[in-house]
Structure formats: structure tokens, C-alpha cells
Amino acid sequence: MTFTLPDLPYAHDALAPLGMSAETLEFHHDLHHKAYVDNGNKLIAGTEWEGKALEDIVRGTYQAGAVAQSGIFNNASQHWNHNLFWEVMGPAGKTMPGELEKALIESFGSVEKFKEDFAAAGAAQFGSGWCWLVKDTDGALKVTKTENGVNPLCFGQTALLGCDVWEHSYYIDFRNKRPAYLANFLDKLVNWEAVAARL
């Protein structure tokens, strides 16, 4: 399967009133994400991974315990991560569906506690990486964080929500204020209906 850059599910300027500028999306989607797609396609050409599903490539090339992951993994996982990232944001879906709210309360005690844990995970991720809301293998919802392009697929988890904490995701709009970016992401950018649909 050839990697393809998806269109954003909204206009480049649709999130500007919510704290993510058109300039950020032009750089982040049109350049950064496209680079993962282009580099990934070059790296898998002629290998056993050419023609395989994206999820299979991510799971199959992840090396647990490795200091650095392979180029194929890095580009495939970042392609997958960004596909999810664009889908769980949007100008709509600001009311959290009851099913998701109930699940968060069951797992974290309250929606606010979930948000605190999620923002803390993102702020504490040293360097580049992601913070996640996942459904773990035991069915429980958990907050996790991963370095670089590593994602929940690597651990058999289902990703419900992911936030990119690489600096290119927030530097244009928030400079070096990652906690402010994370708070804005949770309060204004997340499409909770899209998150609930992943349950």
C-alpha cells in the first residue's frame, strides 16, 4: 500500500479561531506530514513492507527497547499518528458524547482529572513525542506518552486521542509554551465526537 497524504477534514483556516493557525497547518500538514509520506514511500520501495497495510508496517517494524527506531518505522508511524491527529480535531464536536464522558469518569474519576493527566503527560514528554488517551488491552482507558513517533499500536492499544508535542505542532502559535498548547488542544481543538467514535 502506497502512503498517501490525506486532505485535511476541514479548511486550513478552520481552526484559527480555536488557536491553531492556517500557517501552522500549512507547515505541519502540507510540509511535515507530506515529508513522512514521501520518505516512507521511498524507504518501503522494494522491501517486504511494500504493499502492506500501514498498521502492519508500524507493528512489524517497531523494535522494543531500541535506542533509535528504523527509518521505515519512523515515517510509517508518524504518517499514522498524523492521520489520527487531524481526525480528532475540528471546528465541530465540542460537546462530549455521554458514552465517552461515562468511560472517562469510570477510568479517571472525572473528565477534568483525565484532562489534567493528559496535559501532564504531554508536558512531561522530554523532547519530541506524543501523549495519548488509549483503550488498553484490558479494556481500561489510560493516558500514556511516547517518544518520537512511537504510538499505541506498538503496545496493542487502541488510540482514542493523540496530541503531537513535537515543537513544529505548536511553535508558530504558542512559541515554547507547550502546557498552554495542550490546554488549548483539550479545551478548544478536540472533536469529542470523533474521539467517542473510536471507542
Q: Tens digit of pLDDT for each residue in 10-50?
A: 999 999 999 999 999 999 999 999 999 999 999 999 999 99
- 32 is annotated as contributing to ligand binding: no
Residue 82 annotated as part of some ligand binding site = yes
pLDDT over 90, % of the chain: 99
| Distance (Å, whole) CA 123 – CA 165 | 8
pLDDT of residue 149: 98
138: annotated binding-site residue? no
Do 177 and 78 touch, CB atoms closer than 8 A?
no
Q: What is the pLDDT of residues 137-160, one digit of tens each?
A: 999 999 999 999 999 999 999 999
pTM of the entire predicted model = 0.98
Domains of the chain are: 20-88 (1.10.287.990), 98-197 (3.55.40.20)
Which neighbouring-strand residues pair with 135? Answer: 141, 158
Known binder of ligand: residue 33? no
Distances (CA, A) of 158 to 13, 39, 142, 198: 30, 26, 10, 8
C-beta of residue 83 within 8 angstroms of C-beta of residue 6: yes
